[in-house]
Copies of this chain bind each other. A is one copy, B any other.
């Protein structure tokens, strides 16, 4: 009976394998908090022996979630469930506030250090007690402890040596805030990751686990505030029905140190208050806002405050009533002040009467009010003077309002950076602005230093990022877009950190610590923003994208409702050359910068080439630093950008064995889309600008696949990112 014998033999070889489902793979939901199993045996041994016993008193909601996070992290990374001990002496890992560690605080740090870390900072250190080395995480407050625990887990996730710890961390800005441009109907303006994560209909009764995970992720990078709704605001958000929903979110976020803020519509007193006016000097209006603030704080005692887009792009505002931005902001500030709330008033304004240069308008409108705002008003200024372009010089308001609190507004969602199909790591973009020297107080007054309040310690400080978060399972639409959320938080905490370090951390936490993965992918990330600039808007070009949707190239856009919504307004290409003359012979926007910045931008020879066409109208044959003339340099940049995407693809293709299949495939597909879209940008722009330069594409470059008319005729009617006021 040979078959039966065979059958028996085979049975012996049946495999029982470790259970890893092949159909349910890694979908990216866990962000940088995957807490991957650590496989390096030496590290596991060290970590396990040091962390097996924990002294951690958990008396508050905040320390409770900190303990849960620590516990989950250790289980997931090390299979380790530490024993909780009741005496400091017994713990290998000691976690507690200074108060809780009163007996040993002098061993940890001097008073001055505890003072320096303030309410949110923490210390992670090795100390020796009774002859045994310990790891201690301490802070002045429970929220400091939470940040400290996340910081400590990050050390393990990045497989850091825990025997030489001497870390002192504290945030350099006070308000580190995500702005959600989320509409109440769950559409998201400029959102490329699905619906809003806020399910207003199910609030307040249903607290989606996603809200908790959102708060965890924010806390893990030090973000401490969320503006829940779109700056193009719907007045309904201030009705009692919605405030009760907002309260539910605030309650869910509170243990993670996140305060909620709301975008408010300036005309709310009319729309939901039945008043006839929203004039900020009208006593009834003032009273309405005071009453509304009282109501809000009744529900949410630690409510953060308001974000306001007023007299901008059709939004109502104080100017509607002949009043000033200061009048409007101060009225709201007075309503919030008794409750310690703040007003974030956006400087992104431009008049309905199109000015000679939109880039100048925010400065012109706001500088005269320096020193006129209440102490709890902070002006929210975009990083550049136009609108989150792939590259802009820093906004001239930074350094121009020494007596006013300014916070910076970055855009994480990639409205102008390829939506969620382009891998663009934004930390270098943020850093370029943060590190720029304004010369406001002489050399060294970088934008970051101004934001940190180094020139006026009485000011409130902050950074805002327009969120790139939606209900896509992987949160941000592109696995690598998560890095921009992460980077924003890390830089809002400390603008001094490097893009390199941030990318390194994020890659290790999100994927793995394998250097054959981390090193090449870090290069990809660090190069990616310059790559996007090259294939979209090289040499200082800006605002040449598709009309309305802002999708894809649209350098030909010459009719968009108003001149400064077109592309031709900005690139001003003609047979003589290309670029916006913002020097003293042109719009003189350079005059808004301080000397020597102004002079550097004004002078064609000293103006950095990356800003060349931002500030200068340059003839096609102008010799650039590379030796190529302007036209050839422009072509070179566009083609280089596309080639860089191809290189990114090649590097990623080598990573198949180093990352999970689901995210590998997702990124591979997205890079392929990015490549096609980069080609479209290149071909459309080169062909379009060629109609002015009348110069040939130099030899060696492939010919665009289609004629210019093909690109002009392409229609993308359903690009995502649905408008506001909903």
Contacts and interface: CB of A to CB of B under 8 A. Distances in A.
A79 B206 contact: no
Which of A25, A201, A672, A673 counts the most B-chain CB atoms under 10 A from its CB?
A: A201
A49 interface: yes
Interface of A: 1, 3-4, 6-7, 10-11, 13-25, 27, 29-30, 33, 35, 37, 48-49, 52-53, 68-69, 71-72, 75-76, 79-83, 85, 87, 89-90, 92, 130-132, 184-187, 192, 194-195, 199-202, 205-210, 213, 216, 236, 241, 419-421, 470-473, 662, 665-666, 669-670, 672-673, 676, 715, 717-720, 722
Given A3-B90, A14-B80, A673-B202, A209 B662 contact: yes
A35 B7 contact: no
Of A7, A18, A241, A471, the most chain B CB neighbours within 10 A belong to: A7
A49 B83 contact: no
Nearest to A48: B14
Contacts of A419: 201
Nearest to A33: B23
Contacts of A213: 23
A68 B24 CA distance: 11
A658 B21 CA distance: 23
Nearest to A72: B23
Contacts of A80: 14-17
Given A1-B130, A23-B72, A195-B471, A10 B669 contact: no
A518 B38 CA distance: 38
Given A13-B83, A201-B419, A208-B666, 7 more contacts: A4-B130, A10-B53, A11-B53, A21-B76, A23-B68, A23-B216, A194-B471
A669 B195 contact: no
Contacts of A52: 10-11, 14
Query: What 6 A-B pairs are tightest by C-beta distance, nearest first?
Result: A14-B52, A195-B195, A205-B673, A23-B72, A3-B89, A15-B81
Contacts of A471: 194-195, 471-473
A153 to B, nearest CB: 11
B472 A79 contact: no
A213 to B, nearest CB: 8
Given A4-B131, A75-B22, A471-B472, A11 B49 contact: yes
B205 A672 contact: yes
B81 A25 contact: no
Given A15-B81, A16-B80, A186 B720 contact: yes
Nearest to A65: B23
10 contacts: A4-B130, A10-B52, A11-B49, A17-B75, A19-B37, A21-B76, A185-B722, A202-B421, A206-B670, A236-B718
B666 A205 contact: no
A71 B22 contact: yes
A92 B10 CA distance: 10
A332 to B, nearest CB: 24
Contacts of A85: 10
Contacts of A53: 7, 10-11, 14
A29 B201 contact: no
Q: Report whether over half of chain A's contact residues are helix, strand or loop; otherwise say mixed.
A: loop
A37 to B, nearest CB: 7
A87 B9 CA distance: 14
A132 B7 contact: yes
A4 B132 contact: yes
Contacts of A35: 21
B79 A16 contact: yes
Contacts of A75: 17, 19-22
Contact of A200 (B14, B421, B718): B718
B186 A194 contact: yes
Given A1-B130, A236-B718, A666 B206 contact: yes
Contact of A718 (B3, B20, B184): B184
Contacts of A17: 75, 79-81
A17 B209 CA distance: 25
Nearest to A53: B10
A15 B7 CA distance: 42
A61 to B, nearest CB: 15
B10 A206 contact: no
Contact of A719 (B4, B6, B201): B201
User: Looking at A37, A209, A420, which has the most chain B CB atoms within 10 Å of its CB?
Assistant: A209
Contacts of A676: 205
Contact of A205 (B16, B49, B669): B669
A154 to B, nearest CB: 15
Nearest to A718: B184
Contacts of A210: 473
A666 B24 contact: no
Contacts of A48: 14
A21 B90 contact: no
B89 A6 contact: yes
Nearest to A721: B201
Nearest to A9: B90
Contacts of A669: 205-207
A666 B209 contact: yes
A209 B13 contact: no
A3 B132 CA distance: 10
A420 B208 CA distance: 13
A76 B15 contact: no
Contacts of A722: 185
Contacts of A24: 29-30, 72
A678 to B, nearest CB: 13
